[in-house]
Amino acid sequence: MSLFPSKSRLAHIVFEHDDKSSKTFDVVLLIAILLSVIIVILDSVAELRYNYGHIFYALEWAFTIVFTVEYALRLWLSKRKIGYVLSFYGLVDLLAIVPTYLSLVVLNTQFLVVIRSLRLLRVIRVLKLGRFLKDAEFLSEALRASRAKIQIFIGSMVTIVLIAGTVMYIVEGPESGFTSIPMSMYWAIVTLTTVGFGDITPVTSIGKFIASLIMLMGYGIIAVPTGIVTSEMTQANNRRKLAKARMCHNCDKLTFEIDAAYCKYCGDKFPEKK
């Protein structure tokens, strides 16, 4: 970052991504975020903390100060200060620095680790730019489009999980590890999602039989979300193609080929595209 730049220049460096110094800022920020996250991860490994705990601690504070400066900078530079503070990114930025300061006053610092790891979300802001945006939009578009279908699917899943869980709880009983309906539902989810930890498994013949049916069901069900998302994506792809469709002003029928010059239904000539 250039030395003592004007406020407007600083704002450009911080908020824009179109010239050299602003790009440098983004890259430096990206690296800082990733490193700070990696430190959180490494610090959780007992032997590493034992050996390098003090280094991690120092680095943790270093990054916190860097992020604090950045936060102050963004606050100072942004026109609508309240707007920034309450925005998604504003809160994520705040969550990135708060835990370290809290760790001075809070004794049980365990849960702070989770918040700390949320720092990774800050990467989004940097990745938001560039060629990813278009495809990210495409994906979220496809997922948003199939939201209702997915909700129905989840609903059916929950019902199946409850029924399956209850049945297995009755059939197998506590001695097989199906100690309660919640436990059985946990097993049902483990099974329906084809994860299959094997920490709880049916032991009775009838239990094994019902489990088999549940598994085959899960095997079939997995096709549904895939089908939903896939067809939505194909749809989204088609939509882009459709944007190039023509409608005949004479017979109101649609023609999809971009290079069509005549309506195929009534032979009417298309006007030049606007």
Segment 203 to 232, residues that bind a copy of itself, using CB under 8 A = 205, 208-209, 211-212, 215-216, 218-220, 222-232
For 184, the token pair is 């059985």
Per the document, the length of the chain is: 274
Binding positions for a copy of itself, 100-139, rule CB under 8 A: 110-111, 113-114, 117-118, 120-121, 123, 127, 131-132, 134-136, 138-139
Q: Note whether 28 binds a copy of itself by CB under 8 A.
A: no
Tell me if residue 22 falls in helix, strand or coil.
helix
Q: Output helix, strand, coil percentages for the chain, rounded to the nearest 5.
A: 75, 0, 25
264 residue type, one letter: K
The minimum distance between CB 9 and a copy of itself, in angstroms, equals: 31
Show the site string, 47-86: x = touches a copy of itself by CB under 8 A, - = not.
----------------------------------------
Q: Note whether 274 binds a copy of itself by CB under 8 A.
A: yes
**DSSP H/E element including 246:** strand 246-247
Q: Note whether 91 binds a copy of itself by CB under 8 A.
A: no
Which CB, 29 or 192, lies closer to a copy of itself?
Answer: 192
CA nearest to 252, candidates 239, 270, 238, 240: 270
What's the angle, vertex CA 164, arms to CA 161 and CA 166, rounded to 5? 105
- Dump the DSSP string for 240-269: HHHTT-EE-TTT--EE--TT--B-TTT-PB
The minimum distance between CB 25 and a copy of itself, in angstroms, equals: 21
Which CB, 37 or 97, lies closer to a copy of itself?
Answer: 37
The minimum distance between CB 75 and a copy of itself, in angstroms, equals: 25
What letter would DSSP give residue 108? Answer: -
Q: Note whether 169 binds a copy of itself by CB under 8 A.
A: yes
Which CB, 19 or 252, lies closer to a copy of itself?
Answer: 252
What's the angle, vertex CA 104, arms to CA 100 and CA 106, rounded to 5? 95
Q: Note whether 197 binds a copy of itself by CB under 8 A.
A: yes
The minimum distance between CB 6 and a copy of itself, in angstroms, equals: 35
Site of tokens 């989204």? 236
